[in-house]
Every structure is written in structure tokens, then in C-alpha cells.
Amino acid sequence: MSAPDHRGRLHSAAAAARTLLENSPVERWEVFAKASFVREVEVAPGRPLRVVHVEETGVAVRSLREGSAGFAAASGLGTGASRRAVEGAFATETAVTHDPLPPRRLLGTTEVRDTRPLPPTGWATHVGEELAQAVTNLADGCLRLRRAIIQEGAFSWILTTGDDWVARHDGTGTSLLAEVEGVSDRAGVWRDWLHINDPEAFDVETAAARISDRALLTRSRVATDSGLRDLILHPEVTAQLLSAIAPLFLATPDDEDHLPALLDRDGRLAAQALTLFDDRTDPEAPITGPCDGEGLAAHRTLLLDEGVPRHRIASFRDAYRYSESARGGALRLSYRDYPSTGIANLRVETGNAVPAGELLGAADHALYLLRPLAQVSVTPETDTYRIIASGVWLDGRKVRGWHPVVELCGSLGLLLRRIEAVGNDLRWFQTSRGFVGAPSLLVRRQPVVG
């Protein structure tokens, strides 16, 4: 079953809600109907195949009448769901100081990539089996695949307003979570998550090498060190760091805005090497669509230009509240969600990136952070950061030893402004604040506690 199978039901649900709203004393309204489907396949050598199917369908309505706005969502795509959503929106109306629905003149769409079909039945099983064999071969028997979880999803949605504006979108997504363990008593479990942009072009050998390379490094002898050291951040660690600073690029009240205090005398938040976008049109990104969660055309928003802050993201409501320009910064991942301010795809610009291998040899004595062991935490009010991770010590490109747990604390501003180079190994990761496309980073002189 896939989302396109329910296009007719989506149209019927949206039409039913529209009819109810047009026959009600409401000034402005918006209907959002969505159907999403996920198939999760778990392949574990020596254990039975496990397959889970999850379906989510529903309708959401926003309304405005006589200075009061309402919002409600109801599960299902039948006439009853549309009626419950409309009635619920009316029942939850509260007074507002301004219209939270974007005006017709701001609504629009952007052309996006064609929807890729989901892999055929049996593809996930085949990938899991091939991955298990590839991991064993690449690691000369030192590693084995504990399990692979392949998640395949499809969705369709319709967004329509009382201003006779309609947008539709169909999409798919595929991802892989691999758990690898060493063939010894001292080895733990290594986990790696991969966003699979194009299942037809997915290379199992390349994925196995990417997963095994980091897992094998954990089998080095243990070595610790402390002091001011150069750092190389693996893309996963970079992604968690950028996720932690993402709120700095969201519209916020002046009394909660900590970004200005983090800037240096030249107005820089970070080094010239770092440029960031919220990219909702990149065909390689996990979240794409013709518009944001409210109907403003999807596009690429420059957040950080060679270390200098440029723009902020905001939903239409928050843009009005905080005197920001409405650039299409609303997220709506489920029909249950009220459109909220959020970054969809936080991406590092890698146009001037250097080969990742050069980063590894750029410092004579460096700590290569391979994997975060907790969410990276930042406290902008005090200009501090804290990273707990595992990594390896490098002498040039030679591994000196494995550091199972290392803590890094210091000035957030100095950390960002000491980024010397970005690698060309960008990968997408799912974080607590959305998807982040991140490469390796070389950072000079940071405090390390072993």
C-alpha cells in the first residue's frame, strides 16, 4: 500500500471540509489532509524477518472568524473526519491580535523533483543480507552485522485555502539503521544511520565500507589525552553540533535573542569556512516539497554567510510576531501539527570543501571525534558548549589509540570561529531539530578532558 493509492480519499476529505467551511460563518480557512505509510523491515542474521506497517491519515483545519482563530485535527479521510476537524476548529477558537493565515499574495509553489518509487517488496531483505556479507568481508571477520532496519515511507498531502489556492505533493523516503558488533568480548555495538536518497542507485559495498571504517577504529588500543588539541569532527558529530545551534537561526523575541552576544567585533558567529542554508529545494535532501507548511513557496534560505548571520526562519505567524520577513519557514510533519517555525534541511555549503582525507592529515596531533555519545549541548546565554563523544587520536593519518569517552567544554563562539576547513564528505542525519546535511570539520585548539 502506498500514499498515491489514497489520492482519491485525500481529495474527498479536503472537498468535504471545504464544503462545510463554505457553508459556515467563517471568514478565512485552511484545510490540510495527509496520508503517510511506513514499512519497516528488520533483518537480523539467524533470526526471523520482522516487518511492521504503520499508516497515518488525517485532516486538519485552521479557521478565522470575528477576530478568533481555531485549529483542530481528526484522524481518517472520511467525511466524518472532515466534520470533526471543522467542528473542532470552531470549538477551539481563541481571540487573536492578527490573522495567522498567510494572505493569498504570499502563497506559491516551487518545482520539486519527481517522486521516486518505493523499493519493490523484497528489496529490504536483499539489502540486509548483502550488507551482512559485505561487513564481514570488509572487516576480515572482525565485525558482523547484528541487525539492519530498513524504513521505507510514502506520503501524499493536499493544502487548500478559502482563497481558492491549492497545493499537492507526493513523496517517498528510505533510510537504513545498521548495528554492527565486533567478534570479541571487548567490543560493543556500533550504530550507523544512512539516508538513502535513491534506492535504485544504493551501493551496498559503499555503505558497508562507510559503516565498517568507523566501527573498526574502535578496536584500537585505548589512549587518552587532555589539553588544548586540534579536532576533526566526523559528519555525525558536526550534525549534532549544528542541530544544537539551530535555534539561533529561528525568529525569536528580542529578550530571548542570544545571537548578538555571540558575535565577535566583526559581526561573525563562525569562521569564514562555515556557510549554512535551510535548503528546502535540494533534491538530495530528506524533506522536499513545493511549499512550506503554510503554502509559502519552498526555497533556499541563507542563514550564515561565511560565518556572518544573514536571515532567520519563521512561520508566517512568528514572522509577524517578531518583525521578520515571511520566507517560508513553517514545518508541518504530521496532519496533527499546527504550522510551526523550524528548519527543514540545515545544510553546510561545501562548494570550497577539501577532500576529507586531507582533513585527517592536516594536524600532527589531533582528536578525531567519531560519534556523539549524547546530544551536543550549548548555552548561548553563557557562551558555552559541551560535547561528549568517542574518538581516536591521530598522529597525521596514523591512529594512535581509541578514546572511548571524551568531554569537550568551552566557549561556543571560539569553537565556531576556529573552524578552519570543511570536508567534502557531506551526509544527511536526522536530529532532534530536523535533518542536517553535514561534512567533516577541522577545528583548531579546543580544550579536551580525557
Measured distance CA(170)–CA(167) in Å, rounded = 11
Looking up cell 470533526 gives 84
What CATH number is given to the structural domain containing 94? 3.30.2290.10
186 and 257, same structural domain?
no
Confidence of residue 361 (pLDDT cuts 50, 70, 90): confident
238 and 203, same structural domain?
no
Mean pLDDT value across residues 70-99: 97
In a domain, 419, yes or no: yes
Q: Which three cell numbers stand for residue 91?
A: 470549538
Q: Which three cell numbers stand for residue 336?
A: 496533527
237 and 189, same structural domain?
no
Confidence of residue 1 (pLDDT cuts 50, 70, 90): very low
Confidence of residue 413 (pLDDT cuts 50, 70, 90): very high
Measured distance CA(438)–CA(441) in Å, rounded = 9
217, 240, 270: which is the final residue of a domain? Answer: 217
190, 217, 244: which is the final residue of a domain? Answer: 217
Asked if pLDDT for residue 359 goes beyond 90, the answer is no
Each residue's pLDDT tens digit, 221-257: 888 888 899 999 999 999 999 999 999 999 999 999 9
In a domain, 373, yes or no: yes
Give the single-character DSSP code of 306.
Answer: T
Residue with the larger pLDDT of the pair 287 and 52 = 52
Q: How many CB atoms lie within 10 A of CB 381?
A: 10
Asked if pLDDT for residue 295 goes beyond 60, the answer is yes
Confidence of residue 5 (pLDDT cuts 50, 70, 90): low
Q: Which three cell numbers stand for residue 433?
A: 531539530
199, 217, 235: which is the final residue of a domain? Answer: 217
Name the domain count of the chain: 2
Q: Angle formed by the axes of helices 79-91 and 7-22, to 10°?
A: 40
Domain range enclosing 238: 227-448
Measured distance CA(177)–CA(165) in Å, rounded = 39
Residue 395's φ and ψ, nearest 5 degrees, are -110, 100
56 and 173, same structural domain?
yes
Of the listed ranges 39-48, 116-125, 424-433, the one predicted with least confidence: 116-125
Mean pLDDT value across residues 77-105: 96
Each residue's pLDDT tens digit, 51-70: 999 999 999 999 999 999 99
The runs of H, that is alpha helices, within 79-221 are 79-91, 123-138, 204-217
Residue 135 CA from chain centroid, whole number: 27
Q: How many CB atoms lie within 10 A of CB 392?
A: 20
99 and 29, same structural domain?
yes
Q: How many CB atoms lie within 10 A of CB 89?
A: 28
pLDDT reported for residue 116: 82
| Coil, helix or strand at residue 382 | helix
159 and 31, same structural domain?
yes
Asked if pLDDT for residue 3 goes beyond 80, the answer is no
358 and 427, same structural domain?
yes
CA 78, 80, 81, 84: dihedral to nearest 10 degrees?
170
Mean pLDDT value across residues 141-149: 93
